[in-house]
Structure 1
Amino acid sequence: MSSWLEQGRDINVSADVLDAVARVLRLDAAEREHLYLLAGLNPPQARPAERAVPAGIRRVVDGWLPRPAYVIDRHWKLIAVNRAARLVFGYEESAHSCLVSFFTSAHFRASLCGWEDAARQIVGQFRADAARYPDDPEFGRLAQDMCAASPAFAAVWAEHPVGAATEGTKSLRHPGAGELTFDYTMLPVSDLPGARLLLYTPAEGTPTESRLAGLLKAADAEPPAPARAPVPAS
């Protein structure tokens, strides 16, 4: 087919057909891009392979203690979370997505001040991310799954908000520490396209810093969970 295209023959092919041809011929990325260009189509953006969080970024996240910090990838998966963020925002070890946690966690809904406004902002940011990567089908799948899992997400998603914020203020009512208010900054992680580092700082003029210190101290004083007894073999 590529020789016919190179000869300038009038052949209309779809992206699905080109993908199938590329798979059959086992074309590499450069050859696949050439095939798309010959057909008069824009080659899709290559999806970056998942990579580990750079060691320097992980040190920043861990070194930001006693303040919360975490990293999300471009699909909003939590890929690095420090201890303060887990205690403040309720990100358990099993939490894998801040988007899912925000819309399905009872802790988030009950504790975050101005939850409805924050929900609109988050959905707007997610939609802006999806528009930034139009050839990444994962965004469509995530949006579909979130609409099924959360009526609140579905309602806001249907309104088509779009927005982007790199800094702001977040307040929440923590069951063990009281009201906490943070200023946050969102920074891109250059080695992981689409990933972002979120750093939280106690807001000036609030008791957040001392309350955060008390929360971490109380957590340090808690005895470790007892080891679970092994299940006897049947």
Structure 2
Amino acid sequence: MTTSTSRQNGNGRRGELRDFLRSRRARITPEDVGLPGGGRRRTPGLRREEVAVLAGVGSSWYMWLEQGRDIKVSEQVLDAIARALRMSEAERAHLYRLAGLNPPRSAPSGRPEITAELRRVLETWLPNPAYVLDRWWNVVAVNDAAEEVFSFSRAERNCLVAYFTAGPYRSRFRAWEQFAPTVVAQFRADAADHADDPRYAELVAELSGRSPEFAELWNRHDVLEDTAVTKVIDHPVVGCLTFEHSTLRLASRSDMRLILQSPQPGTDTAEKVGRLLARREARAHVRLAETG
């Protein structure tokens, strides 16, 4: 990028920042934030000086920020301004970007919530496998095809741990040695995004003690973002299955991801998965008959 283009982009962003702050200020009345109203106001909403007081920053500094001047800002000050202007999480993230900073990740709100809509997505993806992982790679939701193809264990629901330590799960991945470095590098990237979360260190310590292969790969310090890959599975019943693997981050929960597996065109994978689901349904009918 040339210097002139970079300057134009910076000026454009500062102009957006100016307009954004003005619009957020205009929608809030003094009474909304416990300030005395009264008096004639040339423009609706709060005055710049009032925002500065609420945010605990200097009036001149805030005026420079809203004017779009090229000044240095910190995360703490942006958070204070976001609180003063009663911004939503989306607005706060937008403020960060306009100020030239990476927005902080939203903290996950407790246990992963598997909504009815998300479960319908999993079921709609049938007869193809689909499942949901949380930020630590625990399987938190799965459809019938994924259970049949990957043999997710009720006792071992963490994909990373199972990939390195669970024999039935691990043995299904053809070219395991080829893809193991990719798996660990992707997990390291996730761990770096949540550096203050002790659960990652606990997982690494647990796996390093159980799997020398994981320990060796972890010590390489390789990092890799999510990539589209082809997975080849050796299933004990139907044989070779080949899937195109896609990862989708959930907009409503950035700490969860939806994993979709599509049978590779030109293979008999779709037909074989259909057979697995038919066997599953037949077993269910037998159990129903036995209990009925």
Q: Please report the TM-score for the alignment, with normalisation by the length of structure 2.
A: 0.60
TM superposition shift of 1:146 = 1.1
| 8 Å Cα contact 2:112-2:134 kept in structure 1 | no
Matches within 5 A, 1:84-123: 84-123=145-184
**Among residues 203, 206, 214, which one is paired with 2:267 in the alignment?**
206
Superposed counterparts of 1:1-234, under 5 Å: 47-48=107-108, 49-222=110-283, 223-224=286-287
**How far, CA to CA, are the matches of 2:116 and 2:281 in structure 1?**
26
Aligned to 1:36: none
Partner of 1:39: none
Listed one character per residue, the Cα deviations across residues 166-220 of structure 1 (whole Å, up to 9, x for unaligned) are 4211001101011000001100012222210000010001110111111111222
1:140 aligned partner, one-letter code:
A
Letter in structure 1 aligned against 2:287: P
Structure 2: distance between partners of 1:132 and 1:170:
26
Residue 103 of structure 1 contacts residue 153 of structure 1 at CA under 8 Å; is this kept in 2? Answer: yes
1:93 to partner: Cα distance: 2.9
**How far apart, in 2, do the equivalents of 1:185 and 1:85 lie?**
14
Q: Which runs of 5+ in 2 are unaligned?
A: 1-55, 57-78, 81-103
**Contact 1:188–1:197 (8 Å) recurs in 2:** yes
CA drift at 1:74: 0.7
Q: Deviation per CA, 1:46-80: give whole Å up to 9, x if none.
A: 74222312321221012211110000011111110
Poorly superposed stretches of 4+, deviation over 4 Å: 44-47
* Maintained 8 Å contact 1:68/1:82: yes
Bigger radius of gyration: 2
SS of aligned partner of 1:111: coil
What secondary structure, in the 3-state scheme, does the structure 1 residue paired with 2:200 have? helix
CA, structure 1 residues 120+107, in 2 after alignment: closer, same or farther (shift >3 Å)?
Answer: same
Letter in 2 for 1:144: A
Letter in 1 for 2:256: A
CA RMSD after TM alignment: 2.4
CA distance in 2, matches of 1:111, 1:51: 28
- Please tell me whether the aligned partners of residues 231 and 245 of structure 2 are also in contact (alpha carbons under 8 angstroms): yes
Partner of 2:75: none
Amino acid at match of 2:174: C
Q: Which letter maps to 1:107?
A: P
Structure 1 contact 166–187 (Cα < 8 Å) conserved: no
SS in 1 for 2:262: strand
Q: Give the aligned residue type for 1:86.
A: E
Cα distance in structure 2, aligned partners of 1:110 and 1:160: 25
Q: How many Å separate the matches in 1 of 2:198 and 2:105?
A: 11
How many residue pairs end up in the alignment? Answer: 188
> How far, CA to CA, are the matches of 2:126 and 2:193 in structure 1?
32
Higher helix proportion (structure 1 or 2): 2
Distance in 1 separating the partners of 2:206 and 2:195: 18
Q: Secondary structure at the residue paired with 2:141?
A: strand
